Chain A
Amino acid sequence: MITIDASGMHYKDLNKLIREGIGRGIKKFFLENVNGQYYIGDGIKGDDIVININGVPGNDLGVFMDGPTIVVNGNAQDNVGNTMNAGKILIKGDAGDVVGYGMRGGRIYILGNAGYRVGIHMKGYDEQLPVIIIGGKVGSFFAEYMAGGVIVLLGLNDTDDTCSDYFATGMHGGVIYLRKKIDFSKYSKEVDLYEADDKDTAFLKKYLLEYADNFNIAFEDIMDKSFYKIVPSSARPYAHLYTSA
């Protein structure tokens, strides 16, 4: 275990300390006074490593990460979990834009809202199943080009509009679960909407129990509504767009 006071520290130095710490076999990191440092947890590996952050981590938190857990006791900025392979990121506040871009595995749980371009080009592979759960709402361009994995949008903060324009454009894999019905006219033509069935609920339960537990909220309050499910109409949305010369 190590505590690092990050105040006034450049990201290069902070991340070097973390990498060196991991090299020395340290498993638990407590980062205090974090104030916008980029790339915390960039490319680090190890399922038993935990980084606890007090303050606001900067962009690209957990980029290329492969296994560790990061807990943010507050808000995070842009590009959380960019191209992440495995691990878990817990954000006990809001996250910025571009959460989980190209994410291939692991979990990102956000208590509050997230910004634009969440879950773009998320992809599953083999046994890797990336999961993003957002407690509040998201901005435009949600789940664009989504190719795999699971995104759950809870809308716990009682707003009616949980997501905005250009929803799931180009989605060709994976599944989105919505706790609240949204304005269907905003849906891309490339996706279909279903009511979640028992199988879906059983699947969701596994992750939502963990989510509720991590954020200390009542599981029953999350499950008070039936969910909607959005899946792509085709795994190949653009197959008929082209003709060979």
Chain B
Amino acid sequence: MIKSSFSNIQSEYLALIDHTKCVRCKRCIQNCGWGTYSFGGDKIIADHSKCVACGRCYTYCPEDAISIIKNPTVIRENGNWKDNHIKSIWKQSETGGIVISGMGTTFKYKKYFDHILLDACQVTNPSIDPLREPMELKTYLGKKPSKIELDFNEEGEPILKTKMPPQIELQTPFVFGAMSYGSISLNAQKAMALAARALGIVMNTGEGGLHDDLIPFGKNIIVQVASGRFGVHRDYLNSGIAVEIKIGQGAKPGIGGHLPGEKIGLDISRTRMIPLGTDAISPAPHHDIYSIEDLRQLIFAIKEATNYEKPVSVKIAAVHNVAAIVSGIVRAGADIIYIDGYTGGTGAAPNIIKDHVGIPIELALAQVDERLREEGIRNEASLIAAGSIRSSADAVKAIALGADAVAIGTAALIVMGCHVCGKCNTGNCSWGITTQRPELVRRLDPEVYGERLYNLISAWSHEIQEVLGAMGVNSIESLRGSRERLRGVELTDAELKVLGIKHAGL
């Protein structure tokens, strides 16, 4: 028998060093979180097997002496037996483990956003120039009353008589998706907190508790309650602008979470309020939620604990009967529902789940919006769409399909240098994002990346204003659920029906 350390799996990438350019500054050794580089007497040598193509080394090489290339040694091509099948079989036969990875699925499923086109005005109704005219992106998340009543003061001015349920006021229809301290570094969270405050939007703690350093950002933070109840206590519930109950996540519908003990250092232990070094296990279900009625019970337990002053959001993964599920959640009393599509990201999830479970956000969203309208309860809750919003175009299309706002997670990490290598679970992130190693975390400057996040969301907001102007509407609210402004290309009748849109040309 061959010794067990022998592996069939060859290096995926090659880290090539141009020794004529290399000045042996060793910056690559220092920058690589994976230990790819070492100094071999007189020159840098690379252990290709460790390279994940995270891009840190060549970005920081002052001499441009590094190229990362795909290993040209091929696994014999086969249309049926793909590389990932063969490699997984080898890996699992060598380890006996469930294959896990970070980020969203790498499978090439059809991306519906790429088959949807937007409308614009020509002649009959004028477009609006967003550079000259006001263009409202402000969005309120929360339950809206089905009617409003007005009183008039002595001057005859109207005064709102209806008591408005609590709302989150967003200056632009974006939120940062839930990413916990533990799955990402505190500096990555701080970058989002700074950007959220500057932009007038919100970030989300994920199920990792609220670090003391983030408490001053409370008005721009949604705090999350999930099945492990990490860091959840009365003050935590009251320290954010809203509370989110996490039921599911697009990358891993139906399964729990698991932060391994080696990542539970002192600071994370304190923030999650759990012992040092033990696994932080979030069970698959909340053990107090086995029904819509039970969900209602937790929603109102939170409302009682926060004196009915905070909207309560419920986050679910987009799955087969999502419209009926969301209808139930609305009736359970949720003010906001966050729907995460199957291409959403994660800090770690089994590939079998990530690659094969859930449905596209576009289809889920269209069906949910339709169902809630049919039932006359669309005003009862706001919808946040998530699951790899890659551009402002995706955001606009999501809103036209029925979302009130969109969440971005992976895109925010890409701002911080993420190259979507999908190795978040290992904790070696060279960019200091999905790691707790102090020497790696230190390199992520929250101020710098906070500003870049601000830039990205500002740019996307301007782009949305351009699109709204072209469509002749002057407020993002006017676009919400306006599927008449969308057309499909390269879509079947069944797909068009689910999306509730016409084919282009009609």
Minimum CB–CB distance from B86 to chain A (whole Å) comes to: 13
Closest to A98 in B: B288
Residues in chain A near residue B99, CB distance under 8 A? 242-245
The residue in chain A whose Cβ has the minimal distance to the Cβ of B100 is A242
Question: Do residues A239 and B260 form an inter-chain contact, with CB atoms below 8 A?
Answer: yes
Interface core residue of B91, B227, B279 (most chain A CB under 10 Å): B279
CB distance from B448 to the nearest CB of A (A): 29
User: B97 contacts which of A85, A173, A241 (Cβ < 8 Å)?
Assistant: A241
**CB pair A236 B97 closer than 8 Å:** no
Contact of B275 among A15, A45, A148, A240 (CB under 8 A): A148
Q: Is the CB–CB distance between B279 and A237 below 8 Å?
A: yes
Tell me which residues across on chain A come within 8 A of B350, comparing CB atoms: 242
| A42 B297 Cβ-Cβ under 8 A | no
- Per the 8 Å Cβ criterion, residues 268-283 of B in contact with A are 269-270, 273-275, 277-279, 281, 283
User: With a CB–CB cut-off of 8 A, which chain B residues contact A83?
Assistant: 225, 229, 232-233
* A19→B307 contact, CB < 8 A: yes
Contact with A along B123-155 (1 / 0, CB 8 A): 000000000000000000000000000000000
Contact with B along A1-43 (1 / 0, CB 8 A): 0000000000110010001000000000000000000110011
In the assembled complex, A79 has its CB within 8 A of some CB on chain B: yes
Interface string of B204-248 (1 = CB under 8 A from A): 000000000000000000000101110011110100000000000
> What does the 1/0 interface line of B244-267 toward A look like (CB < 8 Å)?
000000000000001011000000
- Are B287 and A123 in contact, CB atoms less than 8 angstroms apart? no
Q: How far does the alpha carbon of A98 sit from the alpha carbon of B300 in the complex, in Å?
A: 17
Q: Is the CB of B304 within 8 A of A42?
A: yes
Q: Are A238 and B279 in contact (CB under 8 A)?
A: yes
Cα distance A121–B282 in the bound complex, in angstroms: 9
Report if A101 contacts B (CB, 8 A).
yes
B279 touches A235 (CB 8 A): yes
Q: Is A144 at the interface (CB under 8 A from chain B)?
A: yes
Do A64 and B279 contact each other (CB < 8 Å), given the known contacts A102-B229, A243-B91? no
Tell me if B22 is interfacial: C-beta within 8 Å of chain A. no
Any A CB within 8 A of the CB of B436 = no
Our pick among B97, B270, B281 for the contact of A145 (Cβ within 8 Å) is B281
B278 cross-chain contacts in A, Cβ below 8 A: 147-148, 172-173, 235-236
> Which residues of chain B in 386-409 are interfacial with respect to chain A, using CB atoms and an 8 Å cutoff?
none
Cα of A238 to Cα of B258 in the assembled complex, Å: 9
User: Are B274 and A123 in touch, CB under 8 angstroms?
Assistant: yes
CB nearest neighbor in B for A82: B288
Asked, given contacts A82-B288, A172-B281, A236-B261, whether A38 binds B275 with beta carbons under 8 Å apart, the answer is: no
Question: Is A144 a contact partner of B287 (Cβ separation < 8 A)?
Answer: yes
CB-CB under 8 A from A141, the residues of chain B are 287
Decide if A55 is an interface residue (CB 8 Å cutoff).
no
Q: Size band of the B side of the interface?
A: 35 or more
> In the docked arrangement, what's the CA distance between A82 and B228, Å?
12
Contact A147 B281 (CB under 8 A): yes
| Contact (Cβ within 8 A) A101 B287 | yes
Residues 195 to 221 of chain A near chain B (Cβ within 8 Å)? none
Q: Take A242-B98, A242-B100, A243-B98 as given contacts and tell me if A60 and B287 are in contact as well, using a CB distance cutoff of 8 Å.
A: no
Let me know if B301 is at the binding interface, CB within 8 A.
yes
Interface residues of A in 166-217 (CB under 8 A from B): 170, 172-173
Is the C-beta of B5 less than 8 angstroms from some C-beta in chain A?
A: no
User: Is A104 interfacial (CB 8 A cutoff)?
Assistant: yes
- 8 pairs of A and B residues whose beta carbons are closest in the complex: A243-B97, A43-B305, A102-B229, A245-B101, A243-B95, A43-B234, A42-B304, A235-B278
The interface of chain A, by Cβ under 8 A from chain B, is 11-12, 15, 19, 38-39, 42-45, 59-60, 63-66, 78-79, 82-83, 85, 98, 101-102, 104, 117, 120-121, 123-126, 128, 141, 144-145, 147-148, 170, 172-173, 235-245
Q: What would 15 more interface pairs be, CB under 8 Å, given A101-B229, A239-B260?
A: A15-B304, A39-B301, A63-B305, A64-B305, A66-B233, A83-B233, A121-B227, A123-B273, A147-B274, A148-B274, A237-B279, A239-B261, A242-B425, A244-B423, A245-B351
